[in-house]
Amino acid sequence: MPGIALDTKHDESRQGEAFAPKKAVTNPFTKKFYIESYGCAMNFADSEVIASILQKENFEITTQFEEADMIFINTCSIREKAETTVRKRLTEFRQMKKHNPGLLVGVLGCMAERLKSKFLEEEKLVDIVVGPDAYRSLPSLIEEAESGQKGVNVLLSREETYGDISPIRLNSNGVTAFVSIMRGCNNMCSFCVVPFTRGRERSRDAESVVRECTDLFEQGFREVTLLGQNVDSYQWVKNSDNLIISFANLLEKVAQISPLLRVRFSTSHPKDITDEVLFTMKKYDNICKYIHLPVQSGSSKILQMMNRTYTREWYISKVNRIREILPGCGLSTDSISGFCGETEEDHKETLSLFEYCEYDLAYMYFYSERPGTLAERRFKDDVPLEVKKRRLQEIVALHRIHSLKSMERDLDKTFKVLIEGNSRKSDEHWAGRTDHNKVVVFPKTGDLNKGDYVDVLIEECTAGTLIGRVK
């Protein structure tokens, strides 16, 4: 799902992550389930919906798969690496069934629909297969699987948004949370499998989004990230007065909950982000000045083959407009090296676009052909793997220069930082992020706590972290 990955919280490189709420339901008579999630932020948010559905049916979540009666893997189909990792995990869990015959193993999410027959029949890896729009049926499918049947539901929906379900915040720091505002995608990028695994685009009831964000704020959360494959195409019609709510309208409604609630969003499609959204961001201090704007390639020829519906020049004009309305706005991107037919000249155009934009953050990959996509049917995957890897490394090396340069620009400046928790390396230091999504680490002083805002003077930096002290 190019364009959804925003930071290391949901980057594929994290591999799998087990989740558990702060307080698991304690009931010795319920069966336990374990969830492991892969891929993008949407999958992590879906796992929170799944946990809510199962907990309402008196199933208890556990962080230890060894003690689980049911193991679920929430999957990603975007890159081959993710599928390889998931298949390996399923093989490991199948071995556990030799010692625990009653153990149920299920595949959820994007891989479910595409590989259901392989998992169920050819490899016999799983007992339950559930697609992204069928999580409500999971309790009944568990019942079927317990009786010896295979539980399968991969039907896509044009209406399902799970807007009425209150997600259980899993593995939460109690400060930041994801809030899904829409599902599916209408963009048919030729390299992407999302329209086939997550279905058509549909927007969630705006009132339920605002209600969920308000509840999070009242629980002590201080930052929400509004999620969608393409948030800028969000549109909800309020039937009572036929009022159309755009993404800019929704963004404003969430920002108005409280000036203490930071608002982020992901992801924006370059063809859809509007001046209305940019001016709304400018209007509210608590809407973070950070935009993830996937480019994928710097070559107009390759962009056309990818069906991205914009040119190199159009993308650059959008970047210019962002910087005109929001000076200093943080900017990140996605890029794919070695797409079908990419020449050295096309690759150089991507490098030159990176030079122009000087992204603060970038998620860079080489092309991995996905079965069922338009690219698989239309184009030959003709760039050798070693060439793909070499081009990727050249982009990565260039981006590292820009990333360090971006960090160095912040030296001797003071930023308001939202404390998210302890630093990964030291319990003696806090870690948080600036408005522009840069990680800041600083020594603990005074009576500060998670969820507090604090002014931090930046004194040092690496290519990925700002280091400072409370001012």
Average pLDDT for 110-115: 78
pLDDT at 114: 73
At residue 381, does pLDDT exceed 50? yes
pLDDT at 17: 44
Q: What CATH number belongs to 414-470?
A: 2.40.50.140
Q: Where residue 214 falls among pLDDT bands split at 50, 70, 90? A: very high
Q: Taking 80 as the threshold, does the pLDDT of residue 442 lie above it?
A: yes
- Write the pLDDT tens digit of every residue in 11-60: 333 344 444 444 444 444 479 999 999 888 888 899 999 999 999 999 99
The residue ranking higher by pLDDT, 116 or 140, is 140
Residue 154 in this model has a pLDDT that exceeds 60? yes
Least confident of 24-33, 164-173, 250-259: 24-33
Q: What pLDDT was estimated at residue 224?
A: 97
- Please give the pLDDT value at position 86: 85
pLDDT confidence band for 197 (50 / 70 / 90): confident
Stretch (H or E) spanning 73: strand 70-75
| 471 CB-contact burial (10 Å; exposed 0-12 / middle 13-18 / buried 19+) | exposed
The yes-or-no verdict on residue 418 having pLDDT over 60 is yes
Cβ neighbours of 237 (radius 10 Å):
12
CA distance 77 to 193: 7
Q: What pLDDT band is residue 123 in, cutting at 50, 70 and 90?
A: low
The span from the CA of 277 to the CA of 114, in Å, is 35
- 456, pLDDT greater than 90: yes
**Could you tell me how many helices (H) and strands (E) the chain has, helices first?**
14, 22
Please report which confidence band the pLDDT of residue 316 belongs to, taking 50, 70 and 90 as the band edges: very high
Statement: residue 288 has pLDDT above 90: yes
- Given a cut of 60, whether residue 10 has pLDDT beyond it is no
Among the residue ranges 84-93, 217-226, 346-355, the one predicted with the least confidence is 84-93
pLDDT at residue 97, as a whole number: 85
Higher confidence at residue 277 or residue 198?
A: 277
Q: Note the pLDDT of residue 5.
A: 34
Q: What letters, b where the CB count within 10 A reaches 16 and e where it falls short, cover 114-152?
A: bbbeebbeeeebbbbbbbbbbbbbbeebbebbeeeebbb
Listed by start position, the domains of the chain span 12-153, 176-408, 414-470
pLDDT tens figures, 326-367: 999 999 999 999 999 999 999 999 999 999 999 999 999 999
Q: What's the confidence (pLDDT) of residue 9?
A: 35
Compute the C-alpha angle 47/48/50, nearest 5°: 60
Q: What is the mean pLDDT of the chain?
A: 90
Mean pLDDT, rounded, for 403-425: 96
When pLDDT is averaged across residues 427-452 and rounded to a whole number, the result is 95
Give the torsion through C-alpha atoms of 353, 355, 356, 357, to 10 deg. 90
User: What pLDDT is recorded for position 397?
Assistant: 98
Question: 390 CB contacts (<8 Å, ≥6 apart)?
Answer: none
* 3 state DSSP class of 74: strand
Q: What are the residues facing 419 on neighbouring strands?
A: 432
CA distance 129 to 112: 6
- CATH 3.80.30.20 assigned to 176-408: yes
**Across residues 239-264, what is the average pLDDT?**
94
Question: Does this chain's domain 176-408 share its CATH topology with 414-470?
Answer: no
- Give the CA count within 13 Å in the CB-facing half-sphere of 268: 24
Fold held by 12-153: Rossmann fold (3.40.50)
| Mean pLDDT calculated for residue range 219-231 | 96
pLDDT band of residue 138 (cuts 50, 70, 90) is: very high
